[in-house]
Structure 1
């Protein structure tokens, strides 16, 4: 992600400066926050990327941060940093949705590798979201009859069975089927069925 930003959250100024310098020297755009509360205030406008946060902070700790992000439907992947005594807390953070945790002290490459993986995940999730939205938009352009034919195809019914159920001719089913394929941008029947299942699952993932 060329425009990805690493959102760095830590209440320790020395840590913010050291990690901020490392990340910028490694070619990343970085935004630093002195607390999770400050980050949450601007979450709606936060640029795509990932979050690197300390797990133990005053007021809003890493666990509460993850829960607040989830409540606000944020899809930014989160990496938590933890001291040795805070490993159980980091595990709890993973259960709350963090993608990784790093136990201090960690080397530079461990952090950079975790960020690369998090940004790859963010890019993948964005592609999936885009595909999901595209499929839904295409489905909305189908006529009621075309939706009925699609339902039959997804159920695995042959054209003749669909025609019988809908009380139309097999030739008419073929016409609707061709229209559905075109409107959905499906390259094959299996592609069409996959699209239908993606939307009916209620989740792009």
Structure 2
């Protein structure tokens, strides 16, 4: 970590982290003090390069980023973060903002855009919203990861049946497609539902769709008004 990076690691809010990137030291200090005053963990950086080289802990986080940095614009940093698939929510701040810049940043996924000087409460509100957004993203990611682990426990037959269920086929139709008896299909479907933790057939289908499971290739999807 560069000597220009100031840390608040181990704060009483160690479950979250806010990163501040601004080449104005006085602004970094002011924002850091404001965030620490409400118990948030903070790391500050004098350049985008320092931030991008930092090994971030795996906790709900957000980035407060100045639009105009020496050597690299904040918008360029936003593009790099998007390309790295970090999913880090960004709150932009600038003393030189304009409508076009704001629109570009927001379209690229920025959570907020604050013009300097900003009210303390506006910054705190923006950070709270960004951290909540990151926690929601992480929760969704954990849910999908859990579903994927469940799906990996299915046998090849169970996965095949699941794909046909997603396509809207009834057990009798699935049996015909797979060359199995209807009772065998029911057994495979029941085992797959149990392993996936599905409370109902509708829940089973929703879990499959969350995983991106598609109907078998080249197969038309029938109406889903009866799956028995």
Give the secondary structure class of the aligned counterpart of 2:20: strand
Which structure 2 residues correspond to residues 91-130 of structure 1 after superposition, within 5 A?
A: 91-130=103-142
Q: List runs of 5+ in structure 1 lacking aligned partners.
A: none
Does the CA contact (< 8 Å) of 1:87 and 1:103 recur in 2?
no
Cα deviations across residues 171-195 of structure 1 (Å, max 9, x unaligned)? 1111111100111111111111111
Structure 2: any 5+ residue segments left out of the alignment?
1-12, 215-228
Q: Select the residue among 27, 40, 43 that pairs with 1:31.
A: 43
Q: Which piece of structure 1 moves more, 63-72 or 91-100?
A: 91-100
Deviations 1:78-112 (A, max 9, x none): 11002254443232222223221112221111111
Query: 1:4: which partner in 2?
Result: 16
My pick for the range that moved more, 192-201 or 81-90, is 81-90
Q: Secondary structure at the match of 2:72?
A: coil
Does residue 201 of structure 2 align to residue 192 of structure 1? no
Matches of 1:198 and 1:171 in 2, distance apart?
27
Superposition RMSD in Å: 1.8
Please identify which structure carries the higher helix content: 1
Partner of 2:63: 51
In 2, Cα distance between equivalents of 1:107 and 1:139: 48
Q: Deviations over 1:88-139 (max 9, x none)?
A: 3232222223221112221111111111110111000001111111112221
Aligned to 1:138: 150
Question: Distance between the aligned counterparts of 1:27 and 1:190, measured in 2?
Answer: 43
